[in-house]
């Protein structure tokens, strides 16, 4: 499984939120959010948290190989 980075970026655009704003809401650094938008999510918990703040199902952020 890979992370659907296009979906993350598209959903951020729909919500009109930038990396800094999402980082603040999630309680992480902007650098972490930057990593997420590049597909560097290492745990399912992080994926779940990101999906929660983007108001989508975590499975929507996954691409089957």
Placement of tokens 């779940």 in the chain: 48
pLDDT at residue number 42: 87
- What Rg value do the Cα atoms of the chain yield, rounded? 11
Model confidence at 65: pLDDT above 80 = no
Structural domains in the chain, CATH included, are 2-56 (1.10.260.40)
16: left (phi over 0), alpha (psi -120 to 50) or beta: left
Rounded Cα distance between 42 and 26, Å, is 16
pLDDT at residue number 12: 97
Indicate the pTM of the whole model: 0.90
pLDDT bracket for residue 60 (50, 70, 90): very high
Q: What pLDDT digit, counting tens, does each position of 18-57 carry? A: 999 999 999 999 999 999 999 999 899 999 999 999 999 9
């Amino acid at each position: 499984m890979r992370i659907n980075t296009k979906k993350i970026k598209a959903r951020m655009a729909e919500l009109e939120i930038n990396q800094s704003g999402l980082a603040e809401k999630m309680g992480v650094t902007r650098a972490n959010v930057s990593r997420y938008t590049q597909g560097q999510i290492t745990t399912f918990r992080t994926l779940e948290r990101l999906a929660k703040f983007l108001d989508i199902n975590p499975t929507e952020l996954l691409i089957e190989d």
